[in-house]
Structure 1
């Protein structure tokens, strides 16, 4: 099973056929993804289920429906066990960005965290779940696939929000502040924090 977000509503890729309650179900092979996005954005349904009989092909088939944008990002901890958050588009988020050239996804994640926050000395400690969400740019829907990594740093210098990327704040947040920030964040970030 996979979850792809449209805003805060999920598209669930599944092999299970269930009775529709507060969701609508479609066959993955014949679905009109534009229609699904519109349903999630304009109705009070909680989710859409896309069904395929082969669990190994769920994601592969889904990713063919729209252009893919690949990104890397980090959930960064400092020496005080605080998590690095950015504030962009009036929401709290974790730093991330698109892959460039021939860099590895790990290199992308580290570069993007550095560029968006000014934090240096990042070390990847483990991979985190990959997230998927549909967004619209220039009138076209795309699927963003973000590979996330847990990172640690001893950096305790000044934080610099990358303003040209629309980031207005960068802050280290403790557990309590992180939970509060998640009240004004994205569904796929809540999965990670």
Structure 2
């Protein structure tokens, strides 16, 4: 790896509109938002799928796998291929009707919706929790009849034991994929900002694998950067907490 191949067709897609730019094996990060506007993204663990309608700008500035959408069958095959090509950190999918392609992408997955929260205390510190050994933010799936805001509030209360939370404002939505019992899953999480004015200590939800917490001063996040998910970094970056 490290060599630059400007027109390397990927095996199995020689007849399609796909170009691979192979680069060094660097982890995908949230830096993309400031580099390319008017695009959407989905996290594949520490790698990223981007959607956009401006091929030339992204092609000049980035390295990865570039694909112009043709049909959903080919898209589904490409998703499977990308999931196996760990040496390629980014997949860029383009079409004039970007929102249509995003809907086609969703159709390749079982979609799960979730709500999550960034909780601030009176000292303007935010709450990070350690779940299954990885730093995270409180979040969880929507229950039947809930909207995103209701789910976010309930999940934050359940996972932290804090009550009396005040909803401040909606933040961003993040998307990430994983496999569950062999099925491709796409999870959409809508994030909200909450304020906690109390003095009680968090009571962590052990059955969810939550074992530790920290009230974090914005900017003092090195420990978190080193052991969290790209989607969580995205939330913190957009809220200017990193």
**Which TM-score applies when normalising by structure 1?**
0.91
Which of the pair is proportionally richer in strand? 1
Change (3 A) 1:15 1:98: same
Aligned to 1:130, the other structure's residue is in SS state: strand
Q: Partner residue of 2:29?
A: none
Q: Partner residue of 2:45?
A: 7
RMSD of Structure 2 on Structure 1 (CA): 1.9
In the alignment, structure 1 residue 144 sits paired with structure 2 residue 187:
yes
Q: Partner residue of 2:63?
A: 22
5+ unaligned residues in a row in structure 2: which ranges? 1-38, 237-242
Q: Partner residue of 1:45?
A: 88
When structure 1 is superposed on structure 2, of 44-53 and 90-99 the one drifting more is 44-53
What is the aligned length? Answer: 193
* Matches of 2:65 and 2:219, distance apart in 1: 36
Change (3 A) 1:114 1:34: farther
Q: Is the 8 A contact 2:110 2:183 kept in 1?
A: no
Following TM superposition, by how much is the alpha carbon of 1:54 offset from its aligned partner in structure 2, in angstroms? Answer: 0.9
Change (3 A) 1:83 1:38: farther
When structure 1 is superposed on structure 2, of 115-124 and 142-151 the one drifting more is 115-124
Identify the structure with bigger relative contact order (alpha carbons < 8 Å, sequence gap 6+).
1
Which is greater in Rg? 2
When structure 1 is superposed on structure 2, of 170-179 and 104-113 the one drifting more is 170-179
